[in-house]
Structure 1
């Protein structure tokens, strides 16, 4: 019984450690390495454009995921709420 709990605790810790995200510094270093791999030289305008495009792609991916998840009926908050205010004009 004790060994089963110990294994469960260890597996939970292992799964949680796999969910670790990159720090901003690690992400920047990875982006710089990717742009260097593409052949851009550091401290040039094309290198800066490469970094900018990588960041813009990352943001677009996040927006796309967020928007597609929001349209899912099983998403906790449901689809976006649209409030319509009708104005009735009488002659």
Structure 2
């Protein structure tokens, strides 16, 4: 199996995010989300202290909660078992297999 540098780099980046994400407390995540939401609503042009700014922050928080719930509620299907290919050979483009 040929592994490219990009593939290894992506795997390392994903592992780092997972490891570092596991080290954050829920309070830190909440604080980070609040800071990001404030910045985002300000970028949209809403002024802090206004009802529109509060609604913007509420909408961002609600969207984040809906996305989290959708991930938690997503169905996980049964495992899929595939039979092993009957015949494989090397080509200039990689391994090719066919079932007969």
TM-score > 0.5, shorter chain as reference: yes
Of the three residues 63, 71, 76, the one matched with 1:72 is: 76
- Structure 1 unaligned residues grouped into runs of 5+: 1-10, 76-91
Q: How many residues align?
A: 61
Higher strand share: 2
C-alpha separation in 2, matches of 1:27 and 1:74:
35
Which aligned segments of 4 or more residues in structure 1 are displaced greater than 6 angstroms?
none
C-alpha separation in 1, matches of 2:65 and 2:17:
23
- Structure 2 unaligned residues grouped into runs of 5+: 1-10, 80-100
Match of residue 36 from structure 1: 42
Q: Give TM-score, length-normalised by structure 1.
A: 0.57
